[in-house]
């Protein structure tokens, strides 16, 4: 039996914050170079979550707040840390 659906935080950027976060990541080269490509991938992922019965909830990302979070939490700015940052953002439950 499948667990009840859940609200899943997903990153949401404007173009400037996307480019800034990507540039700040140690492994940012693995992210799409183009904001539009990232946006399309995010749309596909959100649909996949919906198809699984989950409810994606956009979490607006501010590049400066992410950098500060990394400093406070003694984390390198990389994709793994970014994922943790998104998962720990408050989501209206």
**pLDDT tens per residue, range 75-92:** 999 999 999 999 998 765
Helix ranges (DSSP H) in 1-93 = 15-24, 35-51, 63-72, 79-88
pLDDT for residue 89: 87
- pTM comes to 0.86
Q: Name the helix (H) or strand (E) containing 60.
A: strand 55-60
- For residue 59, is it within any domain? yes
Number of independent structural domains in the chain: 1
| In a domain? residue 1 | no
pLDDT at 1 over 80: no
**pLDDT for 15-61, tens place per residue?**
999 999 999 999 999 999 999 999 999 999 999 999 999 999 999 99
Domain that holds residue 44: 7-88
Answer whether residue 40 is part of any domain: yes
Asked if residue 56 is part of any domain, the answer here is yes
Phi, psi of 10 (to 5 degrees): -130, 140
């Amino acid at each position: 039996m499948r667990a009840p659906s859940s609200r899943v935080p997903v990153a949401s950027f404007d173009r400037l914050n996307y480019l800034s976060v990507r540039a700040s990541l140690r492994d940012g080269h693995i992210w799409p170079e183009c904001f539009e490509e990232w946006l399309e991938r995010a749309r596909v992922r959100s649909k996949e979550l919906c198809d699984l019965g989950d409810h994606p909830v956009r979490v607006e990302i501010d590049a400066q707040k992410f950098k500060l979070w990394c400093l406070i939490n003694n984390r390198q700015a990389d994709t793994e840390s970014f994922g943790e940052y998104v998962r720990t953002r408050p989501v209206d439950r």
